[in-house]
Amino acid sequence: CPGSPAAPLAFTMLQLTRVYEGNSMFRGNASLNGQLSHVLEGNNVTQVIPLESPDAWARRQEEVIAYLGTFRQLVKLFNKERRTDFTHHLCCHLGCRLYPNGTAQSFYEVTLNRTAFLSFHVPSATWERRWPGELPVAAFAQEQLMKYPITTQDLQYFLNTTCVSLLQAQSARTGPVSGRSRTPLVLGLVLGSLGLLGMALGIFLCTGGSC
């Protein structure tokens, strides 16, 4: 629910991925200042609040659906190389907050099987391991995520600039969210999804404790 006037504005995204026997299932959502803005269910991503024009939104949908298809194919490939007979649950929680004094805070947190796994340190654009104790999967996933600009500099830009600018624009407006905004909000869903690529590599190639 929207908070008090003194509370920070927030844009948050949650993506849940369930992987089992070479199959992947996706669900998630995004919210802007307490209002549900996007929903991800299976291969379908919908815009609940008209934050983008129909043409722009159609392009964003294609990007997300294409990524999800690629992710599914990678999981099937990894499962053939090293089969796993148990279920993995990945959760990505990311977004930003804008405080009344003008300061902002961005975050990206990942859990694996409901345990803290990795987090993204936004100021330095680096991934940090959160798993308690040593785990080759976490080390391998961290290494993979650090290799690509889309999961480092691009993600940092989205969280620090795109996300915060959206909240600054929302703070300057009065009344409900309008359809005039053209900020590519779903870019965050795409970047959050792409961040799972490195983790998929770690989980499926390093299962069993060795890479």
Alpha-carbon distances, residue 2 vs 9, 32, 187 (angstroms): 8, 9, 23
The pairing of beta strand 104-112 with beta strand 88-98:
antiparallel
Please choose, from the candidates 9, 10, 15, 12, the residue with its C-alpha nearest in 3D space to the C-alpha of residue 190: 15
CATH code of the domain occupying 9-174: 3.30.500.10
pLDDT at 204 over 70: no
What sign has the CA pseudo-torsion 139, 148, 185, 68? negative
Domain range list for the chain: 9-174
pLDDT digits (tens, 9 = 90+) for 87-127: 888 888 889 999 999 899 999 998 888 889 889 999 999 99
pLDDT digits (tens, 9 = 90+) for 8-65: 899 888 888 888 887 888 888 888 888 898 888 988 888 888 777 788 788 878 877 8
DSSP character for 173? S
* Stronger pLDDT, 89 or 77, i.e. the higher one: 89
* Stronger pLDDT, 182 or 40, i.e. the higher one: 40
